[in-house]
Structures are given as structure tokens and as C-alpha cells.
Amino acid sequence: MDSTTMRLSPEAITEFKRIFAEECGVVLSDDDANAQGLELLRLFDLLTRSPDDESSDRTGSQFDVPRGTGSMGYPSNKEQKS
């Protein structure tokens, strides 16, 4: 299942919306909360990968981020310096 069709559980969406509203003062729609929650999971996945770990190149992972992009899909620093 790719990230465009992945959904957080209804409970996770509700909790993410509550926390986001408390911390940022913004009420998200369910779709926005789902998208931002998945981005946060992708970020945590990237941060917990070991550079020496063979599994760090998890192509096809549910949290896979295309090469050359940061966790939010922006060009990485390496790509910007070229």
C-alpha cells in the first residue's frame, strides 16, 4: 500500500488533531491530520535508521521517501549543492 492510500486509524487521527490544535492552535481536517501524521511517521522512520544498517534502504517500505528528498519531499542539502 503506498502512502497516498495509507490511512491512520480514526483514533490516531483524532489524537493527532487534538495535539496539533493544542500545540499549534490550528484545527486540522481529518485528511490534513492523516497526511501530516504520516509525514511525521516518515520523519521518525528516517531518524531511527542507522546509516550502517542494511535495512536502512527500505525500498517499498510503507514510509519510504524517494531518494534525493528530505522527509517532507523537499530536495536534500546534497541535491541543493549540486
What is the model's pLDDT at position 55?
A: 58
Q: Is residue 28 part of a domain?
A: yes
Q: How many distinct structural domains can be found in the chain?
A: 1
Domain coverage including residue 33: 10-49
Q: Is residue 17 part of a domain?
A: yes
Question: If we measure between CA atoms, which residue out of 48, 43, 32, 52 comes closest to residue 70?
Answer: 43
What is the model's pLDDT at position 5?
A: 75
Q: Is residue 24 part of a domain?
A: yes
pLDDT averaged per 10 residues, the chain (length 82): 75 97 97 96 92 60 51 47 44
Question: If we measure between CA atoms, which residue out of 37, 34, 36 comes closest to residue 7?
Answer: 34
Q: Is residue 70 part of a domain?
A: no
